[in-house]
């Protein structure tokens, strides 16, 4: 389990150990940052006892070499080097773009929003992830359902653009984030405003409607 809040880890450990099946043996190692997590991952492999399941909080201190910026990077590493392992994402984030991005790039066996979790739901998630993944908490499922039934199709670049605009990034600064020209960004914004019928043409109105429709 990787999380930079020791009390949260302690709580999760207590729940899993208290609710495990009688014939289950749970050995839970913990880490609080990318460095200690990578050290534990490599050590387990070198000992010939790689972990069966990983719980990664997204927002943790990056590695000292700068290679791993977050729990998301650690999850990607495990997916590449240990594809048979179960990967569970734990996070407080509930931004639509971020959630879709994680599902697309990591395809986690479990995706748990911390504010959704109860003791019983964590115990249920643990069992489902072992036998019949994936397990998503309510917030994740609602976001997925909303995206399925939304009639307006928004590609990945536009999703990303809406995400950064909602964070207050200025249009001229989007070039560095999106890797396309300023004129291409302006064209995409205009098309989105047409799609969402933004009569006043304002970015704030676009962001507001996009949030209401579940695109951000």
DSSP 152-185: S---HHHHHHHHHHHTT--GGGHHHHH-S-HHHH
Q: Between 93 and 213, whose confidence is greater?
A: 93
Stretch 210-215: mean pLDDT, rounded?
Answer: 82
The structure's pTM equals 0.77
Distances 93 to 90, 113, 140, 183 between C-alpha atoms, Å: 9, 7, 10, 31
Tokens of 139: 């917030």
Alpha-carbon gap, residue 49 to 88, rounded angstroms:
19
Backbone phi and psi for residue 78, each to the nearest 5 degrees, phi listed first: -65, -40
Asked if the model's pLDDT at residue 215 lies above 90, the reply is no
Q: How high is the mean pLDDT of the chain?
A: 93
Q: How many CB atoms lie within 10 A of CB 104?
A: 9
HSE-CB for 48 with a 13 A CA cutoff: 0
Domains in the chain: boundaries: 6-147, 156-212
> What is the enclosing helix (H) or strand (E) of 135?
strand 135-136
pLDDT of residue 149: 72
pLDDT at 153: 72
Confidence of residue 150 (pLDDT cuts 50, 70, 90): low
Average pLDDT over residues 134-151: 86
Q: Could you report the per-residue pLDDT of 20-52, keeping only the tens digit for each?
A: 988 888 999 999 999 999 999 999 999 999 999
Report the alpha-carbon distance of residue 56 to residue 42 in Å, rounded: 16
C-alpha 198/C-alpha 92 separation (Å) is 31
Question: If you average pLDDT over each of 63-77, 138-152, 194-208, which comes out highest?
Answer: 63-77
Q: Could you give the percent of the chain with pLDDT greater than 70?
A: 99
pLDDT greater than 80 at residue 147: no
| Contact in structure between 125 and 114 (CB atoms under 8 Å) | no
Query: Which CATH homologous superfamily contains domain 6-147?
Result: Response regulator (3.40.50.2300)
DSSP 116-128: G--HHHHHHHHHH
Predicted confidence band at 151 (pLDDT cuts at 50, 70, 90)?
low
Q: What is the pLDDT of residue 97?
A: 78
Q: What pLDDT sits at residue 67? A: 95
Q: Are 62 and 34 in contact (CB under 8 A)?
A: yes
Q: Long-range pairs for 61-64 at CB < 8 Å and ≥24 separation?
A: 61/4, 61/32, 61/33, 61/34, 61/35, 62/33, 62/34, 63/33, 63/34, 63/35, 63/38, 64/35
The tens digit of pLDDT for each residue in 75-132 reads 999 999 999 999 999 999 887 878 988 998 999 999 999 999 999 999 999 999 999 9
């Amino acid at each position: 389990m990787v999380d930079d809040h020791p009390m949260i880890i302690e709580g999760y450990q207590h729940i899993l150990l208290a609710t495990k099946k009688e014939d289950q043996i749970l050995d839970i190692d913990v880490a609080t940052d990318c460095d200690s997590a990578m050290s534990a991952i490599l050590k387990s492999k070198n000992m010939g006892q790689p972990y069966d399941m990983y719980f990664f909080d997204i927002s943790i201190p990056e590695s000292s070499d700068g290679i791993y910026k977050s729990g998301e990077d650690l999850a990607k590493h495990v997916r590449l080097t240990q594809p048979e392992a179960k990967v569970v994402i734990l996070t407080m984030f509930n931004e639509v773009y971020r959630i879709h991005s994680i599902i697309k790039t990591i395809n986690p066996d479990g995706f748990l929003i911390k504010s959704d979790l109860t003791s019983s739901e964590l115990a249920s998630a643990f069992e489902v992830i072992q036998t019949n993944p994936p397990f998503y908490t309510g917030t994740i499922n609602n976001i997925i359902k909303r995206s399925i039934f939304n009639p307006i199709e928004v590609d990945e670049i536009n999703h990303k653009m809406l995400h950064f605009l909602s964070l207050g990034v200025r249009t001229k600064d989007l070039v560095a984030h999106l890797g396309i020209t300023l004129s291409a960004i302006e064209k995409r914004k205009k098309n989105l405003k047409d799609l969402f019928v933004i009569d006043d043409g304002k970015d704030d109105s676009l962001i507001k409607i996009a949030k209401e429709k579940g695109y951000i």
